[in-house]
Amino acid sequence: MGTSRMFRIFVVLGSVFMILLIIIYWDDVGASHLYLHTPVSPGPRIPPPPPPRQQPHTSRTPSFLSDIDAFVNQFLEPGTGEPTDPAPADSGNQSEKAEERYIPRREWKIHLSPVAAELRERQEQRRRLLQEMCANDSVVFPGKNRSFDDIPNKELDHLIVDDRHGIIYCYVPKVACSNWKRLMIVLSESLLRDGVPQRDPLSIPKDLVHNSSMHFTFNKFWKRYGKFAKHLMKVKLKKYTKFIFVRDPFVRLISAYRNKFELPNANFYLRFAQVMLRRYANQPTPPASVDEAFGMGIHPSFPNFLQYLLDPQTEKEMPFNEHWRQVYRLCHPCQIQYDFVGHLETAEEDAEHLLRQLKVDNVVEFPTSRRNFTASTLEADWFNTVPLETRKELYKLYEPDFRLFGYDKPDSILNE
Ligand SMILES: *[C@@H]1O[C@H](CO)[C@@H](O)[C@H](O)[C@H]1NC(C)=O
Ligand SMILES: *[C@@H]1O[C@H](CO)[C@@H](O)[C@H](O)[C@H]1NC(C)=O
Ligand SMILES: *[C@@H]1O[C@H](CO)[C@@H](O)[C@H](O)[C@H]1NC(C)=O
Ligand SMILES: *[C@@H]1O[C@H](CO)[C@@H](O)[C@H](O)[C@H]1NC(C)=O
Ligand SMILES: *[C@@H]1O[C@H](CO)[C@@H](O)[C@H](O)[C@H]1NC(C)=O
């Protein structure tokens, strides 16, 4: 009697203990495995479905192992390792270190010299400026005060996630975004050729680069994770390294205009150029096709394009197209604390620094562009034919981008 009661209690306690163990284990390993291993739908170029690749162990290293990893790295990488930070007690630097430790490392490259102090200082300044501007009530723009939870799903479509390396990239069109998207495809190994991940960024064709099926973006989380989506996003935002590349806002607009309206582009002609011609260029019936229009030498002028941006009607019809939508609307810099802010004006240095910080410089190299970007020295020429009043209104429209990312107010353009 007594022993059978003891036995029953023992069995019950034992079961409870086992269940607890399972829960703890599941929470620790199962969940993080679920977070980290999320393959993007494969690209169109795979002939047969590739054999499932074994890689559960790359997703998560037990903490003692990653500590050993960090310890070993101190000796291997004097530059980016923790001990070179002269002020390690700082909270900003601490969170950076925590993130570095989290990223699973499979291989690494040995650097004999540290990242130049100038480059680290530059990043420090850009991050600090973002924080200051987000806290400064004199910088006002729609959506600034909302919380991350209040950002609608469809506005998160520019955040590309790479779970393999723990990287989040917010792409801004007209800021070398094709090349950074190529890099994200290589890193996340989402494009396979004959079952082997594509390694060379430049060999990825342009139409694939911009095909959204190649990228795992935040707005796809809802489909995959349902009500856990926002929670998962926040976990990833906290643990992953987030980066963004920006450029001078006016130069970005010139670049968008040159690329979409000075060159024949059927899609942009039908969706936007016809509207501009009708409304601002005295063309009640613009040519029906882009070929016809360019054959007759007709396309909207740069002032027409700016008029279109400033017309209240435009935003009423639909939100700005991503090629001219403000960066603060694409990337939510006051809700997402970017770890790295690159400028196109210093793209090569920044790319090298970033890849090194991400510890992927052994896997990929940033493709250097052979094209000439629109130089800001030519900016004044472009605005020659634009009325002063229009320039000032345009500045107001893009002022938050100027201030958030440290671009000087273009006085020479605004004060003539
Ligand atoms: C994007 O790729 C998918 C296949 O992965 C294809 O079905 C789709 O047509 C592509 N979309 C565009 C716009 O090319
Ligand atoms: C971080 O470390 C750098 C030196 O590496 C130091 O100059 C800076 O003040 C520290 N603080 C913050 C907030 O990053
Ligand atoms: C906010 O910005 C204004 C002007 O743009 C500046 O004068 C002021 O010092 C800033 N405030 C803070 C707290 O930095
Ligand atoms: C955001 O909040 C600040 C006060 O915290 C307020 O002064 C400002 O007007 C608000 N901005 C917007 C766009 O709601
Ligand atoms: C780029 O600019 C340089 C000088 O600024 C010029 O020599 C070169 O030909 C240009 N390249 C192209 C592709 O336009």
Is 376 domain-assigned? yes
Higher pLDDT, 95 or 290: 290
133 in the same domain as 103? no
Average pLDDT of span 324-332: 97
358 φ/ψ angles, rounded to the nearest 5 degrees: -75, -10
Centroid of ligand 2 to alpha carbon of 90 (angstroms) = 6
Is 359 domain-assigned? yes
352 in the same domain as 237? yes
Nearest 5°: the CA angle 223, 204, 200 is 110
**Mutate which of 122, 124, 128 for ligand 2 pocket (most atoms within 8 A of beta carbon):** 124
Query: What was the pLDDT predicted at 373?
Result: 62
Is 182 domain-assigned? yes
Ligand 1 atom nearest to 41, measured from its CA: 5
Q: Whose CA is nearest to atom 4 of ligand 4?
A: 137
pLDDT > 70? residue 39: no
Helix axes 91-102, 63-76, angle to 10 degrees: 110
173 in the same domain as 69? no
For 112-132, how does the pLDDT look when each residue is reduced to its tens digit (9 = 90+)? 788 899 999 999 999 999 999
167 in the same domain as 21? no
Residue 80 binned pLDDT confidence (cut-offs 50, 70, 90): very low
Is 224 domain-assigned? yes
49 in the same domain as 197? no
Given a contact cutoff of 8 angstroms between Cβ atoms, the answer to whether 322 and 217 are in contact is no
Q: How many domains does the chain have?
A: 2
**Mutate which of 208, 211, 220 for ligand 1 pocket (most atoms within 8 A of beta carbon):** 211
Query: What was the pLDDT predicted at 236?
Result: 95
136 in the same domain as 20? no
Is 9 domain-assigned? yes
Structural domain range at position 355? 129-251+321-414
Given a contact cutoff of 8 angstroms between Cβ atoms, the answer to whether 160 and 217 are in contact is yes
CA distance 269 to 264: 8
Average pLDDT of span 351-362: 89
Is 356 domain-assigned? yes
pLDDT > 80? residue 67: no
Is 278 domain-assigned? no
Average pLDDT of span 300-318: 95
For 382-398, how does the pLDDT look when each residue is reduced to its tens digit (9 = 90+)? 999 999 999 999 999 99
Give this prediction's pTM: 0.72
164 in the same domain as 101? no
Residue 322 binned pLDDT confidence (cut-offs 50, 70, 90): very high
Given a contact cutoff of 8 angstroms between Cβ atoms, the answer to whether 398 and 327 are in contact is no
For 332-349, how does the pLDDT look when each residue is reduced to its tens digit (9 = 90+)? 999 999 999 999 999 889
Is 386 domain-assigned? yes
